[in-house]
């Protein structure tokens, strides 16, 4: 069963605030849900499928369905960290094809900046089977990603300057986003001159920490046609996991090695066909490795691909993260996958800021990485196409 073209994203909403001390997490979930449904021209009463991850308080979809007043007959609480929402889009599309629901709502919310869960979901990892072996050695998320960066540099000669170009492109895009947490452009020298957090990653190689949230509405094409609203057709979807394999692990690649080809195969397109890419950017190294594994360049050539403005929009080799991404704009609940899909939808609708809108954008990719790059994580990839009724 293929989902190609059988489900349409018609609603997308990103919470405009980056610090939200006056809301509960459940309230933020509700605000983004209402925002995405309003964007689609629908209401909570129209929803019959609900998708959330571990950011949903209480008993997950059970508690949140009651809080939102939903009459959902299909729910999904898949948890793969920051890639969860891309997985949810694929799952929602499959449920729609199977006749399980017709209007699927996906929500994310969190308050890590003003008192919520710590970055990376570390509060939930204490009982994990690997905790006794690893938590004593890697005490912060950046250290985990620094391992992958160091190994990539050793194997392929990647440089800190090349990684810095990823931050530079994100910052140049963020200056056009009035809601961005870090709206000022930076240079390669600025990145290299920022404090070292975990060698070789500097502070400006790291994402922001923000409150916030976002939501998506995925519907059957018959529903989409009644709304008169442009959207994004779900053309391809892929998921994969990568873990430590009891210590036998290559730190230079991610699970995108498998999720990307699956998404491209289902969509019937190649990486060279993609006009815009939203790439998960918890750290600069996350982007570089994903670009290689997704097939936009050869393994080990990511540094050259991103250097000298390769990711700028417009005009770069592959315009990326035109909202500023997690590096500069927003990393709500320490989970950036939701905003990756939202910005891809904006590009396909022609609703990105004019300064960074990709002209005639018809085909976009959104990719998420959830977990930890050098130990275990989940990847999810979507190929999306412009759609109109």
Residue 132 to residue 379: CA distance in whole angstroms: 25
- In this structure, whether the domain defined by 138-209+234-387 belongs to CATH 3.40.47.10 is answered with yes
- Are 8-118+211-233 and 138-209+234-387 the same fold in CATH? yes
Q: How confident is the model at residue 24 (pLDDT cuts 50, 70, 90)?
A: very high
Q: How confident is the model at residue 120 (pLDDT cuts 50, 70, 90)?
A: very low
What per-residue confidence (pLDDT) applies to 129? 67
Residue in this structure with the two tokens 């993609």, named with its chain if needed: 274
Cα 313–Cα 378–Cα 233 angle in degrees, nearest 5: 50
- In the DSSP assignment, the letter for residue 175 is T
CA 116 from centroid of its chain's CA atoms: 20
Q: How confident is the model at residue 138 (pLDDT cuts 50, 70, 90)?
A: low
**Average pLDDT of the chain?**
94
Do residues 108 and 214 make contact, with C-beta atoms less than 8 angstroms apart? yes
Helices (H), 121-181: 131-134, 141-156, 160-174
Q: How confident is the model at residue 127 (pLDDT cuts 50, 70, 90)?
A: low
Domain ranges of the chain: 8-118+211-233, 138-209+234-387
Question: How many CB atoms neighbour CB 230 within 10 A?
Answer: 17
Nearest to 173 by CA among 48, 369, 325, 6: 325
- In this structure, whether the domain defined by 8-118+211-233 belongs to CATH 3.30.300.30 is answered with no
């Amino acid at each position: 069963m293929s989902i190609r073209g059988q489900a349409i994203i018609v609603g997308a909403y990103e919470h405009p605030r980056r610090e939200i001390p006056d809301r509960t997490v459940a309230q933020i979930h509700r605000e983004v849900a209402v925002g995405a449904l309003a964007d689609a021209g629908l209401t909570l009463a129209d929803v019959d499928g609900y998708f959330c991850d571990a950011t949903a308080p209480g008993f997950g979809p059970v508690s949140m369905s009651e809080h939102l007043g939903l009459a959902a007959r299909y729910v999904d609480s898949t948890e793969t960290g920051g890639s969860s929402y891309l997985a949810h889009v694929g799952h929602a599309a499959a449920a729609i094809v199977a006749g399980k629901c017709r209007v699927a709502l996906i929500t994310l919310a969190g308050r890590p900046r003003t008192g919520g869960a710590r970055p990376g979901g570390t509060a939930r990892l204490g009982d994990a089977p690997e905790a006794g072996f690893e938590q004593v050695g890697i005490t912060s998320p950046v250290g985990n990603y620094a391992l992958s960066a160091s190994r990539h540099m050793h194997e392929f000669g990647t440089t800190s300057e090349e990684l810095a170009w990823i931050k530079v492109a994100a910052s140049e895009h963020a200056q056009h986003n009035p809601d961005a947490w870090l709206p000022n452009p930076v240079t390669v020298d600025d990145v290299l001159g920022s404090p070292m957090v975990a060698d070789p990653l500097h502070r400006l190689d790291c994402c922001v920490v923000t409150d916030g949230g976002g939501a998506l509405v995925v519907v059957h094409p018959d529903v989409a046609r009644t709304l008169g609203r442009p959207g994004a057709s779900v053309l391809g979807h892929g998921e994969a996991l990568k873990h430590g394999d009891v210590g036998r692990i290559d730190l230079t690649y991610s699970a995108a090695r498998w999720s990307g080809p699956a998404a491209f195969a289902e969509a019937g397109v190649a990486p060279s066909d993609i006009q815009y890419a939203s790439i998960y950017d918890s750290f600069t190294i996350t982007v570089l490795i994903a670009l290689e594994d997704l097939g936009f360049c050869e393994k080990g050539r990511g540094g050259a691909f991103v250097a000298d403005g390769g990711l700028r929009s417009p005009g770069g080799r592959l315009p990326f993260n035109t909202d500023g991404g997690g590096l500069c704009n927003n990393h709500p609940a320490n989970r950036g996958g939701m905003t990756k899909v939202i910005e891809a939808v904006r590009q396909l609708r022609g609703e990105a800021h004019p300064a960074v809108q990709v002209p005639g954008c018809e085909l976009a990719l959104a990719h998420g990485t959830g977990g930890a790059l050098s130990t275990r994580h989940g990847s999810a990839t979507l190929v999306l196409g412009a759609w109109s009724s």
